[in-house]
Each structure stands twice: as structure tokens, then as C-alpha cells.
Amino acid sequence: MTSGLTLAFGYHQQRGLEDWRQSGCLYVEFWCLGPGCNHMERVHIEKLIGKAKTSTPFVELACKARCSACGRWGCHVQPADPPKPEHRDYAIWLMAEIARRKDFILLAEAELRGMDNA
């Protein structure tokens, strides 16, 4: 059995868009797999959530996406790296990360206390 706490460590065990958002993902990258194309589009996760269900997995987005450069259907979808300090969303991302990690520390400490008492 896996602990829910492992979600706080980053990009794994995510199933849908809401899981990705809650784990700190701000942007999603769509990579075209068309021969010789290599087009990539970065989309804000809020924009995706506005169009798809919060439970939509990346693989479903990948199947439905169409490249705006070559017109090919289907692509590779992955979370973008966190914003860099010069990016306009950096402060928002940083505040969310701080809140998420504080929550993790509180839950982890409670879990450890529970282990000591077992």
C-alpha cells in the first residue's frame, strides 16, 4: 500500500488534471510526434481544466490533440518544468509550493507520531 504523502514529492501517481495541478504543475507540454515536426506547445493547466474534466489523464489529452504546425493527430503530453524566477507565474507557483510542503511536513510529522505510538 502506498502512502498519500508520496504525492507531495512531485510528479508521480497523478491520474487526472486536478492531481497534476495539486502537485504543483502549472503548465503542460504537448509534443508533436510527426516525422520532422518537433512542434511543442505549452498550455496553462487552468486552460486545460476549463476545456476538459478535472479527472482527464494526460494520455487522453495526447490522443485528442492535433498539432497546430503539421496537423497530425496525437502527441506526447508531459508536465512542464516549474516556472523560472523571471517568469510571471513564479511567485504564484512558489507560494503554492510553500503551502503544499508545509501541509506535507504537518502530515508527515503526524504520521511519524503515529508510528512512535504503534
- Smallest separation (angstroms) from Zn ion to the CB of 74: 10
Number of chain positions touching Zn ion (CB under 5 A) = 8
Side-chain-side CA neighbours of residue 64 (13 Å): 9
Binding segment for Zn ion (CB under 5 A), chosen from 8-16, 19-27, 56-64, 69-77, is 69-77
Q: Are 55 and 16 in contact (CB under 8 A)?
A: yes
75-79 β-sheet, strand order: 40-44, 27-32, 75-79
- Residue 59 or 69: the one with the smaller Cβ distance to Zn ion is 69
Q: Does residue 77 touch Zn ion according to CB under 5 A?
A: no
- Smallest separation (angstroms) from Zn ion to the CB of 104: 38
